[in-house]
Structure 1
Amino acid sequence: MRLPRRAAAAGLSCVVLLVAGCGAETAPTKPYTGQPVEVAGSWTGAEQANFERVLREFAKQTGARVRYTSGGSDLDVLVSSRIGRGKPPDIAMIPQPGVVAQYAATGAAKPITGAAAQAVRAHFSPQWQQLGTIGGQLYGVYFKAANKSVIWYRTDAFTAAGVHPPVTLDELAAVSQTLVDSGTAAMTVPGADGWPLTDWFENVYLQLAGAEKYDRLAAHQLRWTDPTVVQTLRTMGRYWGSPRFLQGGPNGALQTTFTRSVADVFGPKPNSAMLYEADFVTTEIAKLGAYRVGDGARYFAWPSVDGTGSAVVAGGDAAVAFTGRPVTMALMAYLASPEAAAIMARRGGFLSVNRDLDTGVYPNSTTRALAETLLQAETLRFDLSDMTPRSFGGGNGASMWRLLQAYLAAPDTDPAVVAGRLEDAAGKAYGVM
């Protein structure tokens, strides 16, 4: 007889943690007492504190001594240097599948085996398993996910202008113009950080070109000079270059960081009405305290193009093992469990694609809806820039980041020229993978 999913998950948890005594007659043991295990990640602040709660629970159950090391925005530098010294962290939380692929190619990353692999197959959909698979072997557990296909807006600004959330890109342009006419800048764009601009490209491209070409472009099986890329850039440039659509214009956007952009829309003295970025905006909105998520601060899905259906661009942090020790794989199995996901989910600022996590643990209906969209989306693709080589789209100073910043600075540039520059950079990056 097949057990219900949650009963099967509970039984698997006992195997994963190697805890003797899952039955009533045997006392639990702690099989990894005193054994050190290190996890590296980019998380800091509240996010780090919440993740450390997860690690403490694993330590409590297994006796392991777990340490978290934050690499901040230089996580890849930290991991690479530690690998070079022969002392890698046991696990790293890596947001770029392209970077994971490079580590796997060199043998630095270790395949997920045993109970850890069983846990991933039990709790994650085939699509998310595939995102963690390289060359037929499983390498990544997507512990944290992000919904990158939402635009956040101030309800008071929309009410004052008499507009409603748009459904199509044409409607977005019309709403933006009405907001401008009412005296409010339409959109804040954090152009000082290159990655939000890649997210703009990915959403427009997925809507305009479709999933198949999106996949081919991510793998560089389609050149960046393809007409669909040029059309996407033209669509972006038209919006970015529209008078007063962007707070401060293109030059102002290039001086605006992500954190600043949230304050410019949802701070005590807001300057514009909308901000495009992922669900993690909610954490920054809450810090500011001026608007409440789900009330004064709401979101709508990224608008479709010419009547295309809904599609979602996702991001995420995958747990990747760099040692094959049993305690490492036990922790990987725990990170794949709904129990571990629930610890962070109930505190907010976190989405999980663990299909056995009870979405009722999320702290509010907004976060719950964002998570359910990731689980239910008919068309879902991972962040394209994160799937490319690190020199092109995977980190600070990457070519795609810089070239889109240059396009933001001069949105009247011929998009075919921008596409050609992207293709030149992609060719070089993929040539050295």
Structure 2
Amino acid sequence: MRRGMLSIVLGLALAATACGGSGGAQQGGALQGQRITVAAVWTGAEQDNFKKVLQAFEEKTGAKAEFLATGDNVSTFIGTKIQGGQAPDVVMVPQVGVLQQFARNGWLVPLSADVAKEVDANYAKVWKDLGTVDGKFYGLYFKVANKSTIWYNTQAFQNAGVQPPKTWDEFVKVSQQLADAGTAPMSIGAADGWVLTDWFENVYLSQAGPQKYDQLAKHEIKWTDPSVTKALQTLAELWSKPNFMPGGPQTALQVEFPDSVSQVFSDEPKAAMVYEGDFVAGNIATTGKKVGQDANFFPFPAAPGGSQAPLVSAGDAAVVLKAGKNQQAAQEFVKFLATPDAAKVWATAGGFLSPNKKLDASAYPDDVTRQIAKQLIDAGDAVRFDMSDQAPAAFGGTKGAGEWKILQDFLGNLSDVQGAVQTTAQRLEQEATKAYGS
């Protein structure tokens, strides 16, 4: 669920030292001695690996790049920095809604034509569209997630004599076979409402298609639309199956996301599968199990009536602040991020996916990550960003409220499936109307 102008004399030196197509100037070039500050939410290993990207930029350009941790509330942090005259130059924004907020607050400058050129050459169009607000290109997506992966315990599958499913019907059949073999098919960390929104988004994107997904994300169609009730019906039929999750839905509502992964990959697993994004691999590692050996994944299958498997994503976009002290060097940094060279640095370190289609898959550290990355790239413009991250926080991102709470109540009250579907759709529409102001 989870971011005065210093003149830079470029002149002929920039023309002589710029790296066409590779982002930024050569080491010791036009940015020698310049400084930028880059703010992001990342901590721990993510922060360490991003600092390796900053170091690569420094080595390439001669500039200095300092990391600034924002904490979880990126919007408040950056607003305070701008008011205090200490704005960073670049911010890695973790949500589309926050990017749009920054742009409409007048906090951002559009990305340069050079950055746009790199993106046009290296990215599917959807990523540029996601970074565009009111016709202006502000955000470069650098690190993203594939949120259409279902992870499974390989030993549990072997014990039940089942194979990873490729279709929804196979998924339901495999789930029943696992239950019959004495293992609950699915662990769901429903105490975290964002897990349930991710389930909904995958089913909805598959069934309704990208165009309707975009319309619902903007509340251009109502949450009582038949496409919404169809997706809720599909989830209700799956989630209400006997023995589908350990202890049933009421128990699942007490399980947080990290624990849902542990339930599948502990020494005495309570379930065989867990749905969530590629970041599940990091949680698996904490259990002592090995991805690719004890654990593997299969793509979220196309839901009933869906024409293709969904690809829901999330990610962090680099933006340049108007109040930053070094916009030109900041633009060069974002241009660097748009190149496969920058993506390779973090991809090699692990825990990273890039939307850059020019990045050689061999940069990823293992076959499983390469498969997940390929799934993301192959989806092309059919990729859609996490819907709840696009919504106003009151609806799509607040614990105990809005969509999170309504879907938790939905999961906990499936004794009357039809009644639950209709009531949930109506509640979603009521809360969306309040949050979107429409």
TM normalised by structure 2 equals: 0.88
Q: CA deviation at 1:43?
A: 1.8
* SS of match in other structure, 1:295: coil
Counterpart in the other structure of 1:346: 348
Q: Is the 8 A contact 1:387 1:394 kept in 2?
A: no
1:300-355 deviations in Å (ceiling 9; x for gaps): 11122236322311222111222361121111111111111001111222111112
Counterpart in the other structure of 1:404: 407
Aligned residues: 413
Counterpart in the other structure of 1:134: 133
Greater shift in the superposed pair: 125-134 or 217-226: 125-134
The one-letter amino acid paired with 1:133 is T
Greater shift in the superposed pair: 36-45 or 336-345: 36-45
Structure-2 change in CA distance of 1:220 and 1:183 (3 Å):
same
Q: Which of the residues 421, 424, 432 maps onto 2:427?
A: 421
Counterpart in the other structure of 1:301: 299
Counterpart in the other structure of 2:192: 193
The one-letter amino acid paired with 1:418 is T
Q: CA deviation at 1:33?
A: 4.3
Q: Percent identity between the aligned chains?
A: 45
Distance 1:173 1:286 in 2: 28
Greater shift in the superposed pair: 106-115 or 46-55: 106-115
Counterpart in the other structure of 1:251: 250
Structure-2 change in CA distance of 1:293 and 1:419 (3 Å):
same
Structure-2 change in CA distance of 1:157 and 1:420 (3 Å):
same
Q: Is the 8 A contact 2:234 2:304 kept in 1?
A: no
Counterpart in the other structure of 2:9: none
Distance 2:139 2:104 in 1: 14
Distance 1:421 1:170 in 2: 30
Distance 2:398 2:351 in 1: 22
Structure-2 change in CA distance of 1:30 and 1:251 (3 Å):
farther
* SS of match in other structure, 1:186: strand
Q: Which of the residues 24, 28, 41 maps onto 1:17?
A: 24
- Runs (4 or more) in structure 1 with deviation over 6 Å come to none
Q: CA deviation at 1:240?
A: 2.2
* SS of match in other structure, 2:213: helix
1:190-228 deviations in Å (ceiling 9; x for gaps): 112221111100011111212221111112111111011
Structure-2 change in CA distance of 1:123 and 1:269 (3 Å):
same
Backbone CA RMSD of aligned residues: 2.2
Q: Is the 8 A contact 1:40 1:92 kept in 2?
A: yes
Counterpart in the other structure of 1:392: 395
1:124-176 deviations in Å (ceiling 9; x for gaps): 22222112111221111110121111111011111111222223333322322
Q: How does 1:93-108 map to 2 (within 5 A)?
A: 93-108=92-107
Structure-2 change in CA distance of 1:241 and 1:78 (3 Å):
farther
Distance 2:92 2:413 in 1: 36
Q: Is the 8 A contact 2:38 2:91 kept in 1?
A: yes
Q: CA deviation at 1:396?
A: 4.9
Which sections of structure 2, spanning at least 5 residues, go unmatched? 1-17
Q: Is the 8 A contact 1:96 1:394 kept in 2?
A: no
Q: CA deviation at 1:405?
A: 2.0
Distance 1:184 1:377 in 2: 33
1:213 partnered with 2:223: no
Structure-2 change in CA distance of 1:71 and 1:186 (3 Å):
farther
Distance 1:72 1:245 in 2: 37
Distance 1:71 1:270 in 2: 37
Structure-2 change in CA distance of 1:380 and 1:197 (3 Å):
same
Counterpart in the other structure of 1:334: 336
Counterpart in the other structure of 2:259: 260
Q: Which of the residues 356, 365, 368 maps onto 2:367?
A: 365
Greater shift in the superposed pair: 256-265 or 166-175: 166-175
Q: Is the 8 A contact 1:100 1:109 kept in 2?
A: no
